[in-house]
Chain A
Amino acid sequence: MAIVETRDLTKVFKQGQLGAVNDINLLTREGEFMVFLGPSGSGKTTLLRMIAGLEEPTRGDVLIGGRVVTQLPPRERRIAMVFQSYALYPHLSVYKNIAFPLRAQKVPKEQRRPKVEWAAALLGIGELLERKPRELSGGERQRVALARAIVREPSVFLLDEPLSNLDAKLRASAREELTQFHKRIGTTTIYVTHDQVEAMAMGDRIVVLDKGVVRQVGSPREVYDDPADTFVATFLGSPPMNLVDHGDVLAGFRPEHLLPAALVEGPAVAITARVTGVEYLGNERVLYAQIQDGRFGGKRLIGRLPSVYQVEVNEGEAVRLAIPERNLRFFAKSDGRRTEARSLAWE
């Protein structure tokens, strides 16, 4: 097990190419499950590939277990990686796929079989060893890829969007399986995804990246509840945080905090808005509303009303809505960064 650290890690691409990263300084904790989250082109995969040694940084350093590995090829970094496509060797059986890293590192033949069987048992694929990758289902492929990754007991696990090739149903169970797997082996893991649900569900901490820059590092609760800037605020959460323009600041609040005034207790700001649309989603209703008058007149908002509340809300009606004051977040208009809370005149 080991800690991964990056120091001023930078990759400059030729013009027009996506995925460049700038001066990234990160430090994992021992045994942590860290998630790199960002839209495509944010540089998250480039960052991971530099940690793996598959991409050469323009400048900066990568440290694994306190050792600078920037100049080392991937094979000497004691890492394992699971790829988006799983990258199973198509011409080799499952057994030979899992044994491949052992063979590549010249582990004596008689020591290979017990290790392969241990890894296969850990992932419950003992019966698949003689199959070829093309004969496996998506979920089975993922497990083979994981078995191949753990078989030589790496000090760091790198996973590059390993769930993106699975269909939605399988993805939920695969997510759970990966989390369990990480708990069992406890190896420091870095996981790249563009899917915020995956990031929230699995990560001990999330690194939110955009345009090659780290926007925020924090636990899922921190990045969701206390976004460091408007990018994080709007990237996480679906529908995204409402932002209203208020002089030199932007006031933000999540859709689930915009509720009919009657349901809100404690200090809150209230507004009158016309409901322009209601989507009934079963567990909740999504409200589309437009603030009627006052200084925010015309501003469109989105609210989420859990189905446990039976309040009647109809399209075209003007309703009184409120946001608890503790759920308001403020961002500087100039750079989008978080600023201190303040009380504002809302009407």
Chain B
Amino acid sequence: MTGETGWLGWQRWRRLLGAREGGVRVPPGILRWAIVLVFAAALSFPFLWMGITTFKQTTDLYNTKNNPFLFNLPPTLEHLRLLFNETMYLRWLGNTAFAGAVVVAITLLLALPAAYALARLTGRWGERLGIGIFLTYLIPPTLLFIPMSRVVALLGLQDSLWSIILVYPTFTLPFSIWLLMAFFKSVPRELEDAAMVDGLTRFQAFVQLVIPISLSGILTVVIFSFTLVTQEFVYALTFISSAAHQTVSVGVPIYLVRGDVYYWGSLMAACLIASLPVAVMYNTFLDRFVAGFTVGAVK
């Protein structure tokens, strides 16, 4: 009997989980809230911590007797001042934005026609080529960066922002083609037929009709490619050797550290400032990205 009703009893846990007799819905039970809160806190904690560290005075940060969750001394903007005035942080942000913009442009230029070709013009071959393209997305930079460093050197691009601009489309392209292909397939064929009867060539119909209709899909690809550029670490670390040419994701963790000295306040500020906009952008388009990953597995 105790097994059914006691502290460890089955019924008790069922109630806590919000299960009702004969009901599948999990109503907002206490346990459910607890789960959500614990996960949300644990997953976002480092960013909360970055925020707290950013505004703490150095002496407060480095006094192990102080409660690190409290501002034992008044908050300060000193770390931010240091970051923006005395480091190359702004330059890295600029480099990242520039590389991101160019990579996005290259990606669209190549992916839009390729995805349309796969969606409409290649018949049964399209299916196979599409899968092939998708599989290249699985080839990681850590497999390619060594030969790639030679290719980059051969092209005379070492230690230049252009090296990563050239290489980054290798991972933005496959996923973008994949996403856009699904998007183009959802455009009704009759629209293009109508446009061709109305006087356009197939290619004109693509440019004047399919692209404007697919704007939201294209925006998804733009955001996705851009976030991938901001997240990339291995290639930038390998190809670029001077601080001035770095992107944020390598510049901050590698070049903000002087020798062995970590300026934690500025470092955390740099991490938070670079992370949040990317996170907000990504969050807005989340459902599309998920659809890109789960094509076929979710109906």
Contact indicator A52/B197 (Cβ below 8 Å): yes
The interface-forming segment of B13-21, B62-70, B142-150, B188-196 is B188-196
Say yes or no: A85-B190 contact (C-beta < 8 A), given A90-B213, A91-B212, A91-B213: yes
Q: Tell me the residues in window 67-98 of chain A with beta carbons closer than 8 Å to chain B beta carbons.
A: 73-75, 79-81, 83-85, 87, 89-91
In the complex, what residues of B have CB within 8 A of residue A100's CB?
Answer: 195, 198
Residue from B196, B209, B213, B215 in contact with A75 in the complex, judged by beta carbons closer than 8 Å: B196
Instruction: State whether the Cβ of A101 lies closer than 8 Å to any Cβ in chain B.
Output: yes
Instruction: State whether the Cβ of A238 lies closer than 8 Å to any Cβ in chain B.
Output: no
In the complex, what residues of B have CB within 8 A of residue A158's CB?
Answer: 197
Q: For the complex, what is the distance from the CA of A79 to the CA of B193, rounded to whole Å? A: 12
Residue from A49, A85, A104 in contact with B199 in the complex, judged by beta carbons closer than 8 Å: A104
Instruction: State whether the Cβ of B201 lies closer than 8 Å to any Cβ in chain A.
Output: yes
Q: Chain A, interface size: which category?
A: 20 to 34
Q: For the complex, what is the distance from the CA of A312 to the CA of B135, rounded to whole Å? A: 75
Q: Which residue from chain A places its CB closest to the CB of B191 in the assembled complex?
A: A87
Q: For the complex, what is the distance from the CA of A73 to the CA of B209, rounded to whole Å? A: 18
Instruction: State whether the Cβ of B200 lies closer than 8 Å to any Cβ in chain A.
Output: yes
Residue from A54, A81, A85 in contact with B188 in the complex, judged by beta carbons closer than 8 Å: A85
Contact indicator A73/B198 (Cβ below 8 Å): no
- Give the shortest distance, in Å, between A48 (CB) and chain B (any CB): 11
Instruction: State whether the Cβ of A338 lies closer than 8 Å to any Cβ in chain B.
Output: no
A-B contact count, CB below 8 Å?
59
Contact indicator A75/B194 (Cβ below 8 Å): no
Q: Chain B, interface size: which category?
A: 10 to 19
- Give the shortest distance, in Å, between B193 (CB) and chain A (any CB): 5
Instruction: State whether the Cβ of A148 lies closer than 8 Å to any Cβ in chain B.
Output: yes
Contact indicator B209/A80 (Cβ below 8 Å): no
Q: Which residue from chain B places its CB closest to the CB of A81 in the assembled complex?
A: B197
Q: For the complex, what is the distance from the CA of A206 to the CA of B190, rounded to whole Å? A: 25
Q: Which residue from chain A places its CB closest to the CB of B123 in the assembled complex?
A: A14
In the complex, what residues of B have CB within 8 A of residue A104's CB?
Answer: 195, 198-200, 204
Contact indicator A148/B188 (Cβ below 8 Å): no
Q: For the complex, what is the distance from the CA of A101 to the CA of B190, rounded to whole Å? A: 15
Say yes or no: A87-B194 contact (C-beta < 8 A), given A75-B199, A75-B200, A104-B199: yes
Instruction: State whether the Cβ of A310 lies closer than 8 Å to any Cβ in chain B.
Output: no
Instruction: State whether the Cβ of A283 lies closer than 8 Å to any Cβ in chain B.
Output: no
Contact indicator A148/B198 (Cβ below 8 Å): yes
Q: For the complex, what is the distance from the CA of A275 to the CA of B191, rounded to whole Å? A: 53
Instruction: State whether the Cβ of A105 lies closer than 8 Å to any Cβ in chain B.
Output: yes
Q: For the complex, what is the distance from the CA of A60 to the CA of B197, rounded to whole Å? A: 21
Central interface residue in B195, B196, B198, B204, by most chain A CB within 10 Å? B198
Q: For the complex, what is the distance from the CA of A82 to the CA of B128, rounded to whole Å? A: 34
Q: For the complex, what is the distance from the CA of A74 to the CA of B197, rounded to whole Å? A: 5
Contact indicator B199/A54 (Cβ below 8 Å): no
Instruction: Write the B228-257 contact mask toward A (1 if CB under 8 angstroms, else 0).
Output: 000000000000000000000000000000
Contact indicator A87/B212 (Cβ below 8 Å): no
Contact indicator B201/A75 (Cβ below 8 Å): yes
Pairs A–B under 8 Å by Cβ, sample size 27? A53-B196, A53-B197, A54-B193, A54-B197, A74-B196, A74-B197, A75-B197, A75-B198, A75-B200, A75-B201, A79-B197, A80-B197, A81-B194, A81-B197, A83-B194, A84-B190, A85-B188, A85-B190, A87-B188, A87-B191, A87-B193, A89-B194, A89-B209, A89-B213, A90-B213, A101-B198, A148-B198
Q: Which 8 A-B pairs have the closest CB atoms?
A: A104-B199, A87-B194, A101-B198, A87-B190, A105-B199, A83-B190, A75-B199, A81-B197
Given contacts A53-B196, A75-B197, A89-B194, 14 further A-B contacts (CB under 8 A): A53-B197, A54-B193, A54-B197, A74-B196, A74-B197, A75-B200, A79-B197, A80-B197, A80-B198, A89-B191, A91-B212, A91-B215, A104-B199, A158-B197
